[in-house]
Chain A
Amino acid sequence: MRRSMLFLPGNNPNMLINAACLGADAVIFDLEDAVAPAEKDAARILVRNALRSMDFEGTETVVRINSVDTPYWQEDLRQVLPERPNVILLPKASTPSDVLLVDAFLSDMERELGVEEGTFLLMPLIETALGVENAYLIASSAPRICALFLGAEDLTADLCCTRTKEGREIEYARARLVVAARAAGKDVYDTPFTDVSDDEGIVTDANLARALGFTGKASISPRHVDAINAAFSPTEREIRYALEVLEAINRAKSEGKGAVSLHGKMIDAPIVARAERTLAAAESLGLIGRKV
């Protein structure tokens, strides 16, 4: 279950050491924007050593490498891949060929390291106008792609518009990414909410992202992690309803009935599928089966 993905600067040892304690389902060790060019090598080594020596206790590890138009990305991958981060986040993915370039490099590394083809998962970060337009092609360009990730800061710069808290300017990009990712059978992650001290704004923004169909949301501040986790966790009411749906379906099956209704409403296949997803999520979060 990957609800929250927390960016941590790759050159900050104190944050790396505490990565597992900050409550995020996944942490993103950033080698790109958070790290100045002169520090790229130091950050790379620090992240590699953290991955090698630290126990992240079930927190997923993601490394944001530098984009393919920089001289850094291949060395980034050479250093970190032997330590098996869970996911590689590729910034400024604008075309399928950007992704295929990295995909081929990952395949080479898999052969070199003697691991199974497709082990290294790839998450393209869509943050250009071209990337948004190519979203479906990017999402479906390689099997190792696990999700799309929306980056609104760079995108709004590319769109020549101002980034706002309300986010009207990224409505289209959000909707487009969700549709593209889902059409390709992939997950999709929303852009961070950047006002670190706005504790109410993050709740609104995370709830909006969930309502739009995102799988989870990124964050640049540990302060936002709880709000994101809450927004992307099934609520008590949703869990109760999902249990009722499955109970009604099972009852109907045992009674040999075809059509099933609950609270006067027909239950069809999508409702059952959603109920199953809700319960799977609730189970993996330990929300059911524990004394409350």
Chain B
Amino acid sequence: MSKLAKSIRDAIREVGLKSGMTVSFHHHMRNGDRVLVSVLNEIAALGIRDLTLNASSLFDTHAPILDHIRSGVIGRIMTNYMSGAVGRAISRGIMDAPVEFRTHGGRPADMERGTTPVDVAFVAAPTADERGNCTGKLGKSACGSLGYAFADAKYARKVVVITDNLVPYPLETVSISEDLVDLVVEVDEIGDPRGIVSGTTKITRDPVGLVMAQQAARVIEASGLLRDGFSFQTGAGGASLAAARFLKEIMLKKEIQGSFGLGGITSYMVEMLRAGCFERLLDVQCFDLDAVESIRQDPRHQEISAMQYASPLEATAAVNRLDVVILGATEIDTDFNVNVHTDSSGSIMGGSGGHSDTAHGAKLSMIIAPMFRARLPIVTDRVNCISTPGEDIDVLVTQGGIAVNPRRAELRDRLLDAGLPVIDIHALKEKTERITGKPEPLCKGDRVVAEVVSRDGDILDRIYSISDGD
């Protein structure tokens, strides 16, 4: 019996997708993904309605789903990240049911718990054989790791692999294996790998960003964690990547042999692996094509699933063995709560992704952010949305000083001993407001448009609608 379906539409029919069910997608093709929209177009054409869309992330390329929301094809959304184009519409209240935001670790955990059952998972696979074995490492649309798709393949009732590079059985290197897959569909194109690289994956040239990056590297050096066996993750923001570069210089100078680099992997982490800073890279998603090339060629660069990466149900998840993580913030409050979901107007433009998973697991979780963006201060009395609770954030690095969470007195002492410019977070807020003034608080709308679900499954915060005038 063959698992090959002639078309996406045939596959949807064969797996028995019905109105009211849940479909899932992963985001390794990032802003280059074509699968999610193609599948939903077919679903809509078949007259199926009121679906729950469980997508690990939604990018601007997915904006066509807004039509499917308006027409009732999609009734609920669960995701870990939502970029501006979709986020703005959600914030203006186009859905009746609030979007459920989870974390990269919480999403697979809730599938495992049975809280968020999936009827049909659609796996965008850059290469697959006709029995359903697939990988992201090979093919014209190679995206590297398929980390987030493992949970979908494992827990969904039916799994459809969609590929633009169907190869004879057996596929030489397998990420998701045939026993988890029900159907395989060959299409012309699953996406454009150039869309994997987002604009934020280049080292900053901004002098203020570089100052912050250098301070961040010094904080890590002074923290006592930078020794043989060191493990590290950084997000793909300009200043975070610059911090990684400064950290690399320190590690090479001090001949420190780290154990692993984790996370979404960029070329800068690949450089650190090659330079001998780490023994391994553990990769749940590739952020650029150098990382894709590396995971294909270098056996030290390993693919891991979202469960291995960050699931709160896995005691040995990689985040729990992480020494240092560098993260971003759109806002942080004087209790160190961090917002990465909404922008300064309260509109959705992000999500936790692995933010709160890594912040919870790492021994040192560091936020790098400028004192102000445009004319808005970064430190506030209360963030508009709690994405990651302050108890999991240890230090905030800005160009105007380094604020340490009062829970981490010993870290504060270490930084002071190293001569670093430590500042109380309230003083930092006042110092910033002397330049920017104190902005009026945002007027929240009266409708809840999204809920932030913590990695343990509780509601951490709610995001409210904004009006068109904002």
Please state if A21 and B400 are interface contacts (CB–CB under 8 Å): yes
Please state if B207 and A18 are interface contacts (CB–CB under 8 Å): yes
Question: A140 in the interface, Cβ–Cβ < 8 Å?
Answer: no
Q: Per-residue CB proximity of A207-223 to B under 8 Å, as 1/0?
A: 00000000000000111
Chain A residue at minimum C-beta to C-beta distance from B398:
A21
Q: Which of A14, A17, A55, A222 contacts B210 (CB 8 A)?
A: A222
Please state if A18 and B399 are interface contacts (CB–CB under 8 Å): yes
Please state if A23 and B435 are interface contacts (CB–CB under 8 Å): no
Please state if B208 and A21 are interface contacts (CB–CB under 8 Å): yes
A45-101 with Cβ < 8 A to chain B: 54-55
Q: Once bound together, how far apart are the Cα atoms of A18 and B419, in whole Å?
A: 20
Question: B356 in the interface, Cβ–Cβ < 8 Å?
Answer: no
Residues of B within 8 A of A130 (CB): none
Q: Once bound together, how far apart are the Cα atoms of A222 and B212, in whole Å?
A: 12
B401-447 with Cβ < 8 A to chain A: 417, 419, 431, 434-435
Question: B145 in the interface, Cβ–Cβ < 8 Å?
Answer: no
| Known contacts A18-B399, A54-B435; A222/B417 CB under 8 A | no
Residues of B within 8 A of A221 (CB): 207
Least Cβ distance of B248 to chain A in Å? 14
Query: Interface residues of B, CB < 8 Å — how many?
Result: 12
Least Cβ distance of B251 to chain A in Å? 17
| Known contacts A221-B207, A222-B211; A290/B419 CB under 8 A | yes
Query: Interface residues of A, CB < 8 Å — how many?
Result: 17
Question: B214 in the interface, Cβ–Cβ < 8 Å?
Answer: yes
Please state if A55 and B399 are interface contacts (CB–CB under 8 Å): no
Please state if A22 and B207 are interface contacts (CB–CB under 8 Å): yes
Q: Once bound together, how far apart are the Cα atoms of A63 and B399, in whole Å?
A: 23
Question: A133 in the interface, Cβ–Cβ < 8 Å?
Answer: no
Residues of A within 8 A of B208 (CB): 14, 18, 21-22
Q: Which of B211, B214, B417, B434 contacts A55 (CB 8 A)?
A: B434
Q: Once bound together, how far apart are the Cα atoms of A188 and B29, in whole Å?
A: 57
Least Cβ distance of A227 to chain B in Å? 12
Please state if B417 and A291 are interface contacts (CB–CB under 8 Å): yes
Q: Which of B211, B434, B435 contacts A22 (CB 8 A)?
A: B211
Residues of B within 8 A of A238 (CB): none
A14-36 with Cβ < 8 A to chain B: 14-15, 17-18, 20-23
Please state if A286 and B434 are interface contacts (CB–CB under 8 Å): no
| Known contacts A221-B207, A223-B210, A291-B417; A21/B435 CB under 8 A | no
Q: Once bound together, how far apart are the Cα atoms of A290 and B214, in whole Å?
A: 21
| Known contacts A221-B207, A222-B207, A222-B211; A21/B399 CB under 8 A | yes
B76-106 with Cβ < 8 A to chain A: none
Residues of B within 8 A of A286 (CB): 419
Q: Per-residue CB proximity of A245-288 to B under 8 Å, as 1/0?
A: 00000000000000000000000000000000000000000100
Please state if B207 and A223 are interface contacts (CB–CB under 8 Å): yes
Residues of A within 8 A of B214 (CB): 226
Most buried by A among B214, B399, B431, B434: B399
Residues of A within 8 A of B431 (CB): 55
Residues of B within 8 A of A17 (CB): 435
B370-419 with Cβ < 8 A to chain A: 399-400, 417, 419
Q: Once bound together, how far apart are the Cα atoms of A245 and B434, in whole Å?
A: 47
Chain B residue at minimum C-beta to C-beta distance from A196:
B205
Residues of B within 8 A of A222 (CB): 207, 210-211
Residues of B within 8 A of A18 (CB): 207-208, 211, 399
Residues of B within 8 A of A291 (CB): 417
Most buried by A among B208, B400, B431: B208
Residues of A within 8 A of B419 (CB): 286, 290
Q: Once bound together, how far apart are the Cα atoms of A14 and B399, in whole Å?
A: 13
B209-252 with Cβ < 8 A to chain A: 210-211, 214
Least Cβ distance of A12 to chain B in Å? 11
Least Cβ distance of B162 to chain A in Å? 44
Most buried by B among A18, A20, A54, A223: A18
Residues of A within 8 A of B400 (CB): 20-21
Residues of A within 8 A of B210 (CB): 222-223
Residues of B within 8 A of A22 (CB): 207-208, 211
Least Cβ distance of A105 to chain B in Å? 32
| Known contacts A54-B435, A55-B434; A21/B211 CB under 8 A | yes
Chain A residue at minimum C-beta to C-beta distance from B417:
A291
Least Cβ distance of A207 to chain B in Å? 18
Least Cβ distance of A24 to chain B in Å? 11
Least Cβ distance of A25 to chain B in Å? 15
Most buried by B among A20, A221, A222, A286: A222
Chain B residue at minimum C-beta to C-beta distance from A226:
B214
Chain B residue at minimum C-beta to C-beta distance from A6:
B207
Residues of A within 8 A of B434 (CB): 55
Q: Once bound together, how far apart are the Cα atoms of A55 and B400, in whole Å?
A: 11
Q: Once bound together, how far apart are the Cα atoms of A222 and B204, in whole Å?
A: 13
Least Cβ distance of A95 to chain B in Å? 36
Residues of A within 8 A of B399 (CB): 18, 21
Q: Per-residue CB proximity of B179-199 to A under 8 Å, as 1/0?
A: 000000000000000000000
Most buried by B among A15, A21, A222, A291: A21
Q: Per-residue CB proximity of B113-152 to A under 8 Å, as 1/0?
A: 0000000000000000000000000000000000000000
Q: Once bound together, how far apart are the Cα atoms of A290 and B419, in whole Å?
A: 8
Q: Once bound together, how far apart are the Cα atoms of A21 and B208, in whole Å?
A: 7
Q: Once bound together, how far apart are the Cα atoms of A8 and B222, in whole Å?
A: 31
Q: Once bound together, how far apart are the Cα atoms of A96 and B35, in whole Å?
A: 75
Q: Per-residue CB proximity of A139-180 to B under 8 Å, as 1/0?
A: 000000000000000000000000000000000000000000
Residues of B within 8 A of A226 (CB): 214
Least Cβ distance of B121 to chain A in Å? 47
Least Cβ distance of B250 to chain A in Å? 13
Residues of B within 8 A of A23 (CB): 211
Residues of B within 8 A of A223 (CB): 207, 210
7 contacts between A and B (CB under 8 A): A18-B208, A21-B399, A222-B207, A222-B210, A223-B210, A226-B214, A291-B417
Chain A interface residues toward B at CB < 8 A: 14-15, 17-18, 20-23, 54-55, 221-223, 226, 286, 290-291
Chain B interface residues toward A at CB < 8 A: 207-208, 210-211, 214, 399-400, 417, 419, 431, 434-435
Q: A222-B211, A223-B207 are in contact. List 13 more A-B contacts (CB 8 A).
A: A14-B208, A17-B435, A18-B211, A18-B399, A21-B211, A21-B399, A21-B400, A22-B207, A22-B208, A55-B431, A222-B207, A226-B214, A290-B419
> Across chains A and B, which 5 residue pairs bring their CB atoms closest together, nearest first?
A222-B207, A21-B399, A18-B208, A291-B417, A21-B211
